[in-house]
Structure 1
Amino acid sequence: MQIATLILRLLYGLFYVYIGVSWFIYKLIDKPWVTPPEPPLAKAITSAFTASGVVDPLIAATCLVGGLLLLVRRTAPLGIAILAPLVSGILLFHVFLTGNWVWGTIHFGLLAVLTWLHRSAFRPLWSYGATGGA
């Protein structure tokens, strides 16, 4: 089970590191980021995010940092916590705007599995103040 957890964590982390690094490389060489064809509503929101000049670098940095943190066992729970809002947004984007719910569900499902496998690291979040500690 530990080998499967390690493989899942490393592959998931490497995927997000790849996304973050490749976005920054595309930006450095001044080449537009390649996007698949999207329905009009999805295209409208992604175009607005890109035009703002803020959202795309923030997403890329979140992917890069979260992915790098997942590569180390000790920092994996922090990587999960950093990627959780982004992956939730990916799920909602694909379910409601692109109709490609499979892609969003895969991202979210794998993160949910990783969260479950690292649940002991998150236990203090739910039991805060229950032990009477400082």
Structure 2
Amino acid sequence: MNKIVAVARWLFGLFYAYVGASWFSYKLFGTSWPDHKEAPAAKVLTTALSDSGIVDPLIASACLAGGVLLLFRRTAPLGIAVLAPLVTGIFIFHLFLNQQWPWGTFHFCYLAVLAWLHRAAFRPLWNYEGSAA
């Protein structure tokens, strides 16, 4: 079972590390970047976010950092925490704007399964019993 969890974690981590590294490669070295078909409402949003010049580097950084963190068992919970807002955004984007719900749902469920498999690492977040300041 541990090997299956490790392979699942590596696949998800490698995908997101690749996406983040690809964006940086595109911006720094001019490599190709895929042009996806999007619904009109989705295209308006992605164009506005890209034109801001802030969102794309943040997304790429989160993808790269979260993906690399998932490659190691010790840092996998942090990688899950870094990718959770991004993957939730992807899920909502594909569900409501792009009408490609299987893609967003797959990523969201995959991350949820990884979070469940690493749930012991998140227990201290919900069981804090420190002294009141």
TM-score if structure 1 supplies the norm length? 0.94
Identity of aligned residues (%): 60
Query: How many Å apart are 1:29 and its aligned residue?
Result: 2.2
* Distance in structure 2 (CA, Å) of the matches to 1:46 and 1:33: 14
Counterpart check, 1:76 vs 2:82:
no
| Bigger mean CA deviation after superposition, 15-24 or 32-41 | 32-41
CA distance in structure 2 between the aligned counterparts of 1:89 and 1:50, rounded to whole angstroms: 15
Q: Which moved more, 1:30-39 or 1:86-95?
A: 30-39
- Is 1:125 aligned with 2:129? no
- Unpaired stretches in structure 1, ≥5 consecutive residues: none
Which residue number in structure 2 is paired with residue 45 of structure 1? 45
Residue 38 of structure 1 aligns to a residue whose secondary structure is coil
C-alpha separation in 2, matches of 1:31 and 1:115: 33
* Alpha-carbon distance in 2 for matches of 1:82, 1:102: 22
1:83-110 Cα distance to aligned partner (Å, 9 max, x none): 0000000000000001100000000010
2:83 alignment partner AA: L
Structure 2 residue aligned with 1:36: 36
Specify the alignment match of 1:97 in structure 2.
97
Equivalent-residue separation in structure 2 for 1:100 and 1:51 (angstroms): 23
RMSD across aligned C-alpha pairs, in angstroms? 1.1
Provide the residue aligned with 2:86 in structure 1: 86
CA distance in 2, matches of 1:108, 1:117: 14
In the aligned structure 1, how far is the partner of 2:46 from the partner of 2:30?
18
Q: 5+ residue gaps in structure 2?
A: none
- Equivalent pairs, count: 131
